[in-house]
Amino acid sequence: MNRPVVLITGALTGIGRATALAFAREGHRVIVSGRRDEAGRALAAELRELGAEAEYMHADVRNEAEIRQVVEQTVARFGRLDIAVNNAGTEGESQPLVELTAANYESTFAANVLGTLLALKYEMRVMLEQGAGSIINLSSIAGHAGFASASVYAGSKHAVEGITKSAALEGAAAGVRVNAVAPGPIATEMLDRFTGSDDAKAGFLATMPARRAGEPDEIAQTIVFLGSDKARYLTGQIVSVDGGFSAQ
């Protein structure tokens, strides 16, 4: 059997990187995409050391030509696209609404919302034609709950959840599944930037039911499952991996 072909955006750090490693360990063929070419090539080499076929391809997800090219190059190189993980994203700036800047809105929505939409456009074209595929978008606990001083980020991730459900409806009859994973706080550079200091991070984590941050691999394992045939009747869902946060 052909090993599945996986494309991951924003794959060079954090959850994206952990997801690339997890798929490589499954023996999948992995395309890691991002904006820092040297780090991207190093990650692809690391994946090949695990025995996976792997390649780095440059793409800023806000740039339609670049994301289109990555999807087209993937198909040219590997003949198909089985799983896509739309992971690239930014936390933007923490801002009370009374201090909101249009620039924060524009840059956050460009990466999180436009980036997800553009990636879906080209991934779905390939998968609808194939009559098979699984796409996993990255939402957040802020995709279905409000957070003070994070209305821009929360708005962008609520948008990702609406986009995910709509895309699932466009893909379902053709066998293309679209789901989102909604992580709680995960130990990545983004969490450090979002909380700003060790004290603030400890205070934030103390409010979480699990009283700890999740590990990037704890998100990656759910993404691997959603990408697999074990999840073949699962589409249009937002899967919370948040140590109990959304049960409150």
Which residues, in sequence order, are CB contacts of 48 under 8 Å at separation 6+?
A: 54
Shortest separation between residue 50's beta carbon and ligand NAD, angstroms: 20
User: Helices 14-25 & 216-227, crossing angle to 10 degrees?
Assistant: 50
- Residues known to be catalytic: 153
Q: Greatest CA separation found in the chain?
A: 56
Would you count residue 186 as binding ligand NAD (CB under 6 A)? Answer: yes
How far is the C-alpha of 168 from the C-alpha of 237, rounded, in Å?
8
Polymer length in residues for the chain: 248
Looking at 46, 60, 215, 217, which residue binds ligand NAD (CB under 6 A)?
60
Would you count residue 185 as binding ligand NAD (CB under 6 A)? Answer: yes
Would you count residue 222 as binding ligand NAD (CB under 6 A)? Answer: no
Would you count residue 87 as binding ligand NAD (CB under 6 A)? Answer: yes
Shortest separation between residue 37's beta carbon and ligand NAD, angstroms: 12
Would you count residue 164 as binding ligand NAD (CB under 6 A)? Answer: no
Tokens representing 241? 């991996």
Burial of residue 228 (CB within 10 Å: 0-12, 13-18, 19+) is: middle
Shortest separation between residue 186's beta carbon and ligand NAD, angstroms: 4
- Mask 121-150, x = binds ligand NAD (CB under 6 A)? -----------------x-x----------
Could you identify the residue written with the tokens 């400890």? 202
Whose Cβ is closer to ligand NAD: residue 64's or residue 72's? 64
Would you count residue 180 as binding ligand NAD (CB under 6 A)? Answer: no
How far is the C-alpha of 124 from the C-alpha of 133, rounded, in Å?
8
How far is the C-alpha of 46 from the C-alpha of 1, rounded, in Å?
24
Looking at 6, 8, 15, 119, which residue binds ligand NAD (CB under 6 A)?
15
How far is the C-alpha of 233 from the C-alpha of 243, rounded, in Å?
25
Looking at 5, 52, 61, 152, which residue binds ligand NAD (CB under 6 A)?
61
20: three-class secondary structure by DSSP: helix
Whose Cβ is closer to ligand NAD: residue 117's or residue 132's? 117
**Binding region for ligand NAD (CB under 6 A):** 9-10, 12-16, 34-35, 60-62, 87-90, 111, 115, 138, 140, 183, 185-186, 188-191
